[in-house]
Amino acid sequence: MKGKSVCQAKKNGGIGIIDIQLMNASLLAKWRWRLLDGETALWMEVLGEKYDICNGSMLEGVRYTWPRFASVWWKDVVKLDVLGTQGWFVEEIERKVGNGLKTSFWNDKWCGGRSFSLKYPRLYSISTQKEVMVGELGAVMEGGWDWNFTWRRRLFVWEEELFTSLLEDLDGTRWLNVEDRWTWKLEDNGIYSMKSVYLKLEGVVLHEDVWGVEEKQVFENTWKSPAPTKVIAFSWMVLNRVPTRDNLALRNALPPKVSSLCALCNLKEEPVTHIFLHCDVASLVWTSLMKWFDCCFLVPPNLFVHWECWSVGGSANKVTKGLWLVWHTTIWVLWSKRNDKIFKGLRCEVDVLIEEIKVLFWRCLLERSSTLSCLFYEWCWNPMLCLER
């Protein structure tokens, strides 16, 4: 099974294993954030001098080329935006201006979605204040804040229109008596977190919309079952792909002298739906279980619909979770008996198989219940009544 599928969230059909590449990117992004966040430390001064990042160009989306002697770690930090959508890190940072004394007017992205040097390159090219801070570009007057721009020459008419547009962007700017700071838009408190980065990249890089809404709901509820973890994990494999003879034949992994027929009935091919639903043995087992629980429905064409039939509306109450446990237990026992017949040559009798399901289910109930709600003979006589207690 593809690693990309395994790393999907459980609700999307995966098992939630952490993707190492995305986790590494989250850790590298933290170094970028620490460089932006204004932390005062010797290592920041060393990096600033070595790689010439005092202007923050690499961090704020401007094209940056690392020197020839750059370390592998630094190259990974610089190339971080290549993973996922281009510029994803820059999209999630925002400059909050307080007194404006630490924010570059032209080069920082502090008002709108882009820096003014990128939005108004013509005005930036003729400005004599390319390195000026926001709070230094004006003064408080009686009518409010008055901007003080200086240019290398008089503006042309079309440049005057650009300048008017710039002033409109600046209209409504408010000043606070606090220092400027960067905020992380993925968190309400504005502070960087690795979890927020991982979830963002997970939605971009790992996203595979191969399942419908109903299938995703089944995957999500599967892990809420009280069945043992190994049983749930196997059921997850059954819903995705399990090495039946049919699948092994497709991969050319089935030995040449081994039949591809179902190991339980030896009548038809062995796809997943046959061995767990439509095989004569499986069909008799499910029919007996339906009689035992006093429910009745036609055997559906696939396991997803079959799960829904055993979910009684899908609400996670005691009865539904008990029926989920029966479903998982039956899938597990059917596969175990199939393997016993192939590798040990044991016979598969339906009555014995059903009794094993009842006993295994009863043991799971005992392990997950602090108090004994019913005795074994009560369980065999009326399981629904025991589940409702």
pLDDT tens digits, one per residue of 160-208: 999 999 999 998 787 788 888 888 999 989 889 999 999 888 887 777 6
pLDDT of residue 260: 84
- Rounded Cα gap, residues 186 and 188, in angstroms: 7
Alpha helices in 80-210 (DSSP H): 88-91, 116-119, 121-126, 157-170, 194-205
- Residue 153 burial (CB < 10 Å; 0-12/13-18/19+)? exposed
pLDDT tens digits, one per residue of 60-99: 444 556 778 888 888 888 888 777 666 788 888 888 888 8
pLDDT of residue 129: 93
- Encoded tokens for 200: 């963002």
pTM above 0.75, yes or no: no
What SS3 state is found at 93? strand
pLDDT of residue 62: 45
Enclosing H/E stretch for 94: strand 93-96
pLDDT of residue 209: 65
- Rounded Cα gap, residues 197 and 299, in angstroms: 44
DSSP 182: E
Low-confidence ranges of the chain (pLDDT < 70): 1-3, 38-39, 53-65, 84-86, 142-143, 208-209, 313-316, 369-373
C-alpha 99, offset from chain centre: 38
- Rounded Cα gap, residues 164 and 143, in angstroms: 19
pLDDT of residue 61: 46
